[in-house]
Amino acid sequence: MNRREFLQLTGAAAAGGALSSCTINPEKLIPLLVPPEDGSIPGVADYYASICRQCPAGCGIIVRVSEGRANKIEGNPLHPVNKGKLCARGQAALQALYHPDRIRQPLKRTGVRGSGEFSPVSWEEGLSLLAEKLKGMKTAGARKGMIFFTPELQGTILQLVKAFTEHFNGMHVPYESLSLESHRKASVDVYGRYELPDYDIGSAQYIISFGADFLETFVSPVRYGDAYGRMRRARPTVRGLFTYAGPRMSMTAASADSWLPVKTGKEGILAAGMAGVILDEELYDGPALNIYGLNVSELKAAMADYPLKRVAEETGLTERDIFSASRDFARLRPSIAIAGDTVAHQTNGIDSIKAVHLLNLLTGNFGKQGGVRFSPKDLKQTASSYSKLLDTIDDMSGGSVRVALFHGVDPVYALPKTSGFEKALGKVPFIASFSSFQCDTTRQADLILPDHTDLESWGEVIPSIGGDIGVVGTVQPVVRPVHNTLAFPDALLSLVKTEGGKVPGISAYGDYPAVLKEHIRQASGHKPGADFERVWTKTLQRGGIFKEDSKPVKSINRSGKFIFTVPRKAVFSGDEKQFPFHLHIYPSAIMFDGRSAHLPWLQETPDPMTTAVWGTWLEINPKTAGSLGITHGDLVEVESPAGSIRVPVVIYPAIRSEVMAMPLGQGHRNFGRYAAGRGVNPLDLLETVVDKENRLPALGATRVRIKRISKKGGLITAGHPDGSYRGELLEI
């Protein structure tokens, strides 16, 4: 026996011994002598269902928790919105919980406002300080002395915030920086529905998107991402087709089969022109038009001044491209036309969205599988109103506002500088914020009462689009609070209680989790008792109440008639001669509107189109850049009638020559170490109101001029700009 044989034999014997002992199935050699108090077992992970709140889409999540620490967020496969999937922002949400710059306890301002000098106070002290300021508000007479700024809320939290503001004679101002107001207004006019339409992309044969970046930021990107995959490859014989119309090729547009680089503000004209082609070619669904109360000759008359030739001229496209897109749209049914943020944020936004919806009506795609759908119940959410928000600025500078409260919004960052919000806020005697981070607004606060982060809170989320599904997602704490924070609803309840007041329908249940439980009980239709306890546990385990309702709304129930007109001409701030370029501001695929900029994983995730990290940039067409003597990475000054900023340049091959694009998301002055002082905020270039008539926000209605400053723009990209032109990869 040589050495090798000996080793083999002994090895086999040892392995055999090990194997035979395995079959006895040793359960637990040493049971835990002192089991952990929270019931967790070391080395064994627990999974909790909750809801992601990085954007209003309301995707279901499952959080993996090991020994009391949250380690990983996954999509909840049971949740009908995202079906187990999650986007980059959802994946990164974990870092908000363990962020090193979270506000760890209540803080009171000690230095001058905005200096960032705070000292810790106890919760009793903090709450009583705010209670003192709110005292007497009730008797302050007719004038609203308190304003409460929040994002769009729903359910119990909305009830609570409303009751709270009423109790203290205040005003609740909900606000979303990517406002869906124009979409809602158009939806009411066309469909008689207040809620946003849901699009059944997965079953469609043809999709045309007018600036709707539904794979990255628009309304519910994970839901639509999943549907997009199915549209392409889930059917054995059909590969759905996709066309994108917009002045800049977005990440969503990169996936399209064809891109129509339509001029800024002319998207609605394009949609109207396509409707004209469908009418002329008689490709419309006649019976459907009757049901929708539309008349072919009236529609034709409305389009009389816009023959295809004129549409092509105005939009900057070829007649052939418009014609073939119209024909594909009408023939490859079911088809969907979607209008998105960059269309809505023009001064003719509402008109344009209506023109896009007309396409859906013409081909009878309403209420169909693979078409435009609404849920049976019209969800009357409290929508934000830009106009109302602007009014508060006047109120604040007028001195009638004595207390301003903020939760979950950062208007100092998210409103154009020209709005004067920050200055007006300076006139408010007392500012309190419930934020978990020192965002630009919270920095101005006199008192910070930090809320738990999403993974430590109770709550409920109704997804921003329901479509054919009835969903209430439940938010539950997955870990114990990391810091000395207090749940925001409980802080409100305690403030009302200190005043000796009661919130009708809420105070009776005690703390907020009990309120939520009661609300879910009512929504589930169960009687209180052991039976409901089981349902409640089950609901939390599943992550909400999901009632799949496959009965879409078939009829349009609007009060008046939908009178179609060709969209008006878009108005722009800035003279065309002085400011030759359009500024195209879009929500970042990675940072969204900026609310996720504090998360380091996202800061270092390359932007899909430019591969840029840790900053902002300006996208310029190569020919334009060449004529201006600008190259990749140069620092330029972008100037608009409202202001100027300096930003590095990315040479971007897929943008119109007269358009320059910038992502939202960076340019926070504060907001933790990873976001503070990084990049610039393109909102600094905007006028507050361009659309005087509707008083709606218009991110895309500004003209700019640019000037090269130096070659040191500080641009960082993950990919090499020259290495990315690879003709041989065209086939994919």
Partner 1 sequence: MSKSKSNYKWGMVIDLDRCTGCSACVVACQAENNVPVVGEERSAEGRMLHWLRIERYWDGEYPHVRARFIPVLCQQCDNAPCEPVCPVYASYQTPEGLNGQVYNRCVGTRYCANNCPWSVRVFNFHEPEWPKPLNDQLNPDVTVRSKGVMEKCTFCIQRINRGKMKAKEEGRLVRDDEIQPACAQTCPPGAIIFGNMADKGSFVFRLSRSSRRFRLLEDLGTEPVVIYLKGGGREGA
Binders of partner 1 in range 697-726 (CB under 8 A): 716, 718-719, 724-726
Among 10, 21, 71, 115, binds partner 1 (CB under 8 A): 71
Counting contacts by CB under 8 A, is residue 481 touching partner 1?
A: no
Q: Which residues pair with 147 in a beta bridge?
A: 171, 404
CA-nearest of 378, 388, 390, 468 to 187 is 378
Among 40, 84, 138, 505, binds partner 1 (CB under 8 A): 84
Angular region, 503: left φ>0, alpha ψ -120 to 50, beta rest: beta
Among 128, 382, 507, 657, binds partner 1 (CB under 8 A): 657
Is 339 within 8 Å of 262 (Cβ atoms)? no
Is 84 within 8 Å of 77 (Cβ atoms)? yes
CA-nearest of 652, 660, 677 to 597 is 677
Among 383, 535, 628, 654, binds partner 1 (CB under 8 A): 654
Name the residue with tokens 């998107």.
209
Distances (CA, A) of 183 to 149, 152, 351, 399, 409: 22, 15, 10, 34, 21
Contact track, partner 1, 613-652, x by CB under 8 A: xxx-----xxx-----------------------------
Q: Which of residues 231-250 bind partner 1 (CB under 8 A)?
A: 232-233, 235-239, 241, 249
Instruction: Give burial (CB, 10 Å; 0-12/13-18/19+) of 400.
Output: middle
Which long-range contacts link 218-221 to residues 24+ away (Cβ below 8 Å)? 218/252, 218/338, 218/340, 218/341, 219/56, 219/57, 219/180, 219/464, 219/465, 220/57, 220/58, 220/59, 220/81, 220/463, 220/464, 220/465, 221/55, 221/57, 221/87
Smaller CB separation from partner 1, 171 or 227: 227
Q: Give least dist CB 327 to partner 1, A.
A: 14
Among 50, 54, 76, 91, binds partner 1 (CB under 8 A): 91
Counting contacts by CB under 8 A, is residue 323 touching partner 1?
A: no
Among 81, 127, 163, 222, binds partner 1 (CB under 8 A): 222
Q: How many residues bind partner 1 (CB under 8 A)?
A: 88
**Part in contact with partner 1 (CB under 8 A); list of ranges 85-93, 191-199, 273-281, 551-559:** 85-93
Smaller CB separation from partner 1, 57 or 396: 57
Smaller CB separation from partner 1, 46 or 378: 46
Q: Give least dist CB 427 to partner 1, A.
A: 37
Q: Which of residues 537-556 bind partner 1 (CB under 8 A)?
A: none
Q: Give least dist CB 715 to partner 1, A.
A: 9
Smaller CB separation from partner 1, 131 or 234: 234
Name the residue with tokens 């925001």.
488
Contact track, partner 1, 277-296, x by CB under 8 A: --------------------
**CA pair distance 90, 93, nearest whole angstrom:** 5
Among 482, 535, 628, 709, binds partner 1 (CB under 8 A): 482
**Part in contact with partner 1 (CB under 8 A); list of ranges 7-15, 32-40, 256-264, 266-274:** 256-264
**CA pair distance 481, 486, nearest whole angstrom:** 9
**CA pair distance 571, 553, nearest whole angstrom:** 36
Q: Give least dist CB 615 to partner 1, A.
A: 8
Q: Give least dist CB 413 to partner 1, A.
A: 20
Instruction: Give burial (CB, 10 Å; 0-12/13-18/19+) of 668.
Output: buried
Q: Which residues pair with 666 in a beta bridge?
A: none
DSSP track, 406-419: ESS--HHHHS-GGG
Among 88, 130, 405, 649, binds partner 1 (CB under 8 A): 88
Is 414 within 8 Å of 384 (Cβ atoms)? no
Is 653 within 8 Å of 622 (Cβ atoms)? yes
- The amino acid sitting at 495 is L
Give the torsion through C-alpha atoms of 465, 471, 472, 473, to 10 deg.
Answer: -80
Q: Give least dist CB 226 to partner 1, A.
A: 5
- The amino acid sitting at 273 is G
> Which pair of tokens denotes residue 560?
């008046």
For residue 181, the Cα-to-chain-centroid distance in whole angstroms is 14
Contact track, partner 1, 338-367, x by CB under 8 A: ------------------------------
Counting contacts by CB under 8 A, is residue 230 touching partner 1?
A: yes
Among 255, 290, 578, 627, binds partner 1 (CB under 8 A): 255
Distances (CA, A) of 523 to 462, 517, 539: 12, 10, 11
Counting contacts by CB under 8 A, is residue 660 touching partner 1?
A: no
**CA pair distance 549, 112, nearest whole angstrom:** 55
Among 261, 371, 489, 594, binds partner 1 (CB under 8 A): 261
Smaller CB separation from partner 1, 321 or 410: 321
Smaller CB separation from partner 1, 136 or 719: 719
Q: Which of residues 9-48 bind partner 1 (CB under 8 A)?
A: 43
Q: Give least dist CB 599 to partner 1, A.
A: 9
What is the pairing mode between strands 403-406 and 430-433? Answer: parallel
Among 254, 301, 514, 563, binds partner 1 (CB under 8 A): 254
Smaller CB separation from partner 1, 82 or 150: 82
Phi, psi of 342, deg, nearest 5: -70, -20
Smaller CB separation from partner 1, 92 or 701: 92
Among 49, 312, 609, 618, binds partner 1 (CB under 8 A): 609
Smaller CB separation from partner 1, 221 or 466: 221
Residue 197, preceding peptide bond in cis (omega within 30° of 0): no
Q: Which of residues 578-607 bind partner 1 (CB under 8 A)?
A: 589-590, 600-606
CA-nearest of 96, 151, 49 to 537 is 49
Counting contacts by CB under 8 A, is residue 252 touching partner 1?
A: yes
Q: Give least dist CB 58 to partner 1, A.
A: 15
Among 55, 60, 80, 99, binds partner 1 (CB under 8 A): 99
Smaller CB separation from partner 1, 72 or 561: 72
